[in-house]
Structure 1
């Protein structure tokens, strides 16, 4: 049996190239049969242990395509590391390109404009100078604090004389710098009528009847002007007339040349 197997392994007696080849085949098969007879009927050829997967092999299986792994070309450890480095560079380049595209697509935030400058504050008056005439102990100029009322000016002038009737004087009205108070004495005709030397109506001294005669001012608006003057003390400028209810831009344009403070 061994001779027949040896001849078949060598290609048969007719196919053997030389006697030495046939002899080597016979020796090889005889040694294999002796090993089987010594091991017994339960003998089985143990398959070779698989070659352990190295770190390089695991890296190649993760990053290299399967077609390249199945090929018979062996790039070696250095080749696998080089291919992995190239793949890493490509991935970094793609990530940088995606980040740049995303940044370019996002609109730039609008520029932050500085806040507009605040209007310059009008310096507050430190004191008011008022002329007090009539039935007081010390007629003349008096100095009072801002926000003072008519009663304060009368008190600064030494107070009213005994038995002086003050019912015609609004003691609660706020004072304005430069005005004149008439305490229990007739008001001069020019001041009483609210007229000035230039023919304009004084908003701080005119009566409701005088204000009613102005063009565009009726009885209701005249009352509002006097009420505003009572609440705020006096008009400091003609432009404050626009703060009175019922006086718009067109009506104010007709009045500004006919009144004064």
Structure 2
């Protein structure tokens, strides 16, 4: 091993320090920024799903419903597609003590342009006013003599020729599971209603 004097040892020490410093600078310049870029990209990827979720939030369609009868605040209210009779009563402030809730199906869906009438206890509930389209107990489905198959109750559907309670319930089940009937012809998709029965009822039904 070479024998270095004191001056040479000092010079070698300085060169060694400079070499270490150069290596550190090189590492920071070429490797450290790459790591930061990777971290930045990872952060952007983590944020992306949240932004996508916000972008695809689907707003429900608004519907207008008239609530009348034995409620605290009768009037016309805006609800969302898929809301039930109970929701309509809630926005009307709830019912008054005299209300006959037994005559209503609180789980029934309401639709745009429906009129929901809440009778008082003892009020007649098995007839309807065809001149106003008001169903005494429940949702209006008649205004021109035709029955709206998208909103009619079982009792109203059984007023149609050839439609008994079983078939009426099938109609209700069909629209609950598949959505509104787009046309009167769609009622033929209900089990038990063929061309012959449709001919009997086609002029007595509507979808709006």
TM-score (norm 2): 0.52
The Cα of 1:198 is off from its aligned counterpart by: 4.3
Q: 1:260 to 1:167 in 2, by over 3 A?
A: same
The Cα of 1:243 is off from its aligned counterpart by: 3.1
Task: Indicate the residue corresponding to 1:157 in structure 2.
Answer: 92
Match of 1:166 among 94, 101, 112: 101
Determine if contact 2:114/2:141 at 8 Å carries over to the other structure: no
Larger Rg: 1
Task: Indicate the residue corresponding to 1:248 in structure 2.
Answer: 194
SS for the counterpart of 1:257 is helix
Match of 2:152 among 205, 223, 227: 205
CA separation in 2, counterparts of 1:174 and 1:195? 13
**Superposed, which structure 2 residues align to 1:126-165 within 5 Å?**
126-162=61-97, 164-165=99-100
CA separation in 2, counterparts of 1:174 and 1:244? 19
Q: 1:165 to 1:258 in 2, by over 3 A?
A: closer
Query: Which runs of no fewer than 5 residues in structure 1 stay unpaired?
Result: 1-123
- 1:217 paired to 2:163: yes
The Cα of 1:189 is off from its aligned counterpart by: 3.0
The Cα of 1:152 is off from its aligned counterpart by: 0.8
The Cα of 1:237 is off from its aligned counterpart by: 4.0
| Greater RCO (CA < 8 Å, at least 6 residues apart) | 2
The Cα of 1:221 is off from its aligned counterpart by: 1.9
1:212-248 deviation per Cα after TM superposition (whole angstroms, max 9, x unaligned): 4534434532332344466678656423422321112
Determine if contact 1:175/1:233 at 8 Å carries over to the other structure: no
**Superposed, which structure 2 residues align to 1:55-204 within 5 Å?**
126-162=61-97, 164-185=99-120, 186=123, 188-190=128-130, 191-192=134-135, 196=142, 198-203=144-149, 204=151
The Cα of 1:160 is off from its aligned counterpart by: 1.2
Q: 1:162 to 1:234 in 2, by over 3 A?
A: farther
Q: 1:248 to 1:168 in 2, by over 3 A?
A: same
TM-score (norm 1): 0.43
RMSD over aligned Cα atoms: 3.3
Aligned residues: 137
The Cα of 1:197 is off from its aligned counterpart by: 5.7
